[in-house]
Amino acid sequence: MRLRSINFASDMAKITFQFEEKNRASMEVKMFEGESILDVALDHDIHLNHNCGGVCGCSTCHVYIEQGEDFLPEMSDREEEYVDRARDPKYNSRLACQCRLSGGGDIVVIVPDQSGIIGH
């Protein structure tokens, strides 16, 4: 029987969360292939609203992808509809629930100020 070696490094990336909130330091954490930005944020106690439960049914988990968009799936039509409804959407806006890592590259995300959003 031949054993297959697993290269965990290729299944992992670094994600840096930056925040619009004043006096909030950036946070760097590991992210594994298949994980969503929302899941990683919640796993590391980063407050990111998700009123629909992370099923692409609202725009409260809206983030800006500053770096690493090539390691995320393309935006679906449904996601685009909700991004258009988000507060202050920009060219690099995405929904964190829809951004699942697909590759081993580093990602930089800006979390908009969550204080004006009612929800989770």
**Domains of the chain, first to last:** 17-111 (3.10.20.30)
Q: Is the pTM of this model over 0.75?
A: yes
How much is the pLDDT for 117?
67
The predicted model gives 62-82 an average pLDDT of 97
Distance CA 90, CA 95 (A): 12
Q: Please tell me the predicted confidence (pLDDT) of residue 59.
A: 94
Confidence of residue 1 (pLDDT cuts 50, 70, 90): very low
1 alpha-carbon distance from chain centroid: 40
Greater confidence (1 vs 96) lies with 96
Q: Which two tokens stand for residue 3?
A: 């054993």
What was the pLDDT predicted at 12? 85
Residue 38: enclosing H or E segment and its boundaries? helix 37-43
41-67 pLDDT, tens digit per residue, is 999 999 899 999 999 999 999 999 999
How far, in Å, CA of 24 to CA of 110, rounded? 12
Across 11-15, 42-46, 94-98, least confident range: 11-15
